[in-house]
Amino acid sequence: MFPIRDTIQSKNYSVVNYALIATNIFIFLAQLTLRERLDRFIFTYGLVPGRYSIPEIAHFFTTGQQVFSFFSYMFIHGGFWHLIGNMWFLYIFGNSIEDRLGHLRYFLFYILCGIASGVFHLIINWHSKMPTIGASGAIAGIMGAYFLLYPRARILTLIPIIIIPYFIEIPAFLFIGIWFLFQFINATGSSAHSGGIAWWAHIGGFLFGVIFLKMFMHLPELSITKNLQGRTSKDKSHRLRVINTSGSSGDPHLYGTIDITSKEARTGTRKMVNIPWGFHKRLFIVTIPPGIHNGALLKLPGMGKQIDENKRGDIYLKVLIQTS
């Protein structure tokens, strides 16, 4: 089961989220050049609880290094798949939170979730000498915020069956709820870093994400944020769509809707559409011609219900043009 994206259509490009992803990738590539110095780098800039609780270790580090580690640890990753997994979840869930909070508030929210996650892990594992690294704690905070803001959103998930891609939309509250339960079970049933994963940092990040969101939603937006959002507004909608169709028992045709932006209506666009019907899910390309108007019907011939061995009904998609 692999999450593809959520179904929330962001109104603005997530410039901060993309910048965070780019920064994490850049630092990881820089790590690859360190080779034999990598362990020392991780111990210096990762978060090591023993550096704060054991005097014999603490005296090797300056006050600045001790404070900076609460920030730097969240930009270091232990391997390629560690990085890819974190950045993919950041991409899926972070875009919608940035769209809701605004660029500057989102950046501050992300950093505070990462710091709070590190503090929570440090308290739970006070004497551990193992470095904690990665953006997981900050991303867990974003998932906590998403859980509150968009519980009814759906997560488009890929389930590969042999070589056939099967897409299913899972409610966000269920997807994130299962994720949190998995973190909790692993945290309570294993040692601090079982499998090299700081489970308590994830739980702390999630809980602080919920708390910080409550606080940030009461903070006013700065004028600079509104100006940035005006310059980063989106003019395209999601390319991959799951469209649920309906039809009466005596009607061989199926009916659904597809939403596009005003720019896509003017210039035309192509969407990859997955339409489930019964146990069948078909994936194909829908071409939307330029100049289409709101409420227009797109006819997909032969894509509806089976009439007989040689004939099928059609699918009619109603075009809905989004307004900003």
Is the pLDDT confidence value at 192 over 90?
no
Tokens of 316: 């009619």
pTM metric for this prediction? 0.77
Q: What is the pLDDT of residue 106?
A: 95
Summarised one tens digit per residue, pLDDT across range 47-79 is 999 999 998 888 899 999 999 999 999 999 989
Q: Considering only CA atoms, which of 308, 320, 316 is closest in space to residue 264?
A: 320
Give 61's DSSP letter: S
Is the pLDDT confidence value at 245 over 90?
no
Which band of pLDDT confidence, cut at 50, 70 and 90, is reported for residue 231?
low
Cα 2 → chain centroid: 12
Give CA–CA dist 210/202, Å, rounded: 13
Give CA–CA dist 5/249, Å, rounded: 33
Q: What is the pLDDT of residue 159?
A: 77
| High-pLDDT (> 90) share of the chain, % | 45
Least confident of 21-25, 183-187, 191-195, 208-212: 191-195
Domains of the chain with CATH codes? 2-231 (1.20.1540.10), 240-321 (2.60.260.20)
Q: Considering only CA atoms, which of 288, 232, 168 is closest in space to residue 10?
A: 232
Give the mean model confidence (pLDDT) for residues 272-298: 78
Residue 89: other Cβ atoms inside 10 A: 18
Contact 234, 95 (CB under 8 A): no
Give CA–CA dist 289/267, Å, rounded: 8
Average pLDDT score, the chain: 86
Q: What is the pLDDT of residue 228?
A: 63
| High-pLDDT (> 70) share of the chain, % | 89
Summarised one tens digit per residue, pLDDT across range 137-167 is 999 999 999 999 999 998 988 777 766 667 7
Which band of pLDDT confidence, cut at 50, 70 and 90, is reported for residue 235?
low
Q: What pairs with residue 96 in β-bridges? A: none
Give 37's DSSP letter: G
Is the pLDDT confidence value at 279 over 50?
no
Which band of pLDDT confidence, cut at 50, 70 and 90, is reported for residue 195?
very low
Beta carbons within 8 Å of 257's beta carbon, 6+ residues apart: 243, 317, 318, 319, 320
For the chain, the maximum distance between any two Cα atoms, rounded to a whole number of angstroms, is 81
Main-chain dihedrals φ then ψ at residue 179, nearest 5 degrees: -60, -45
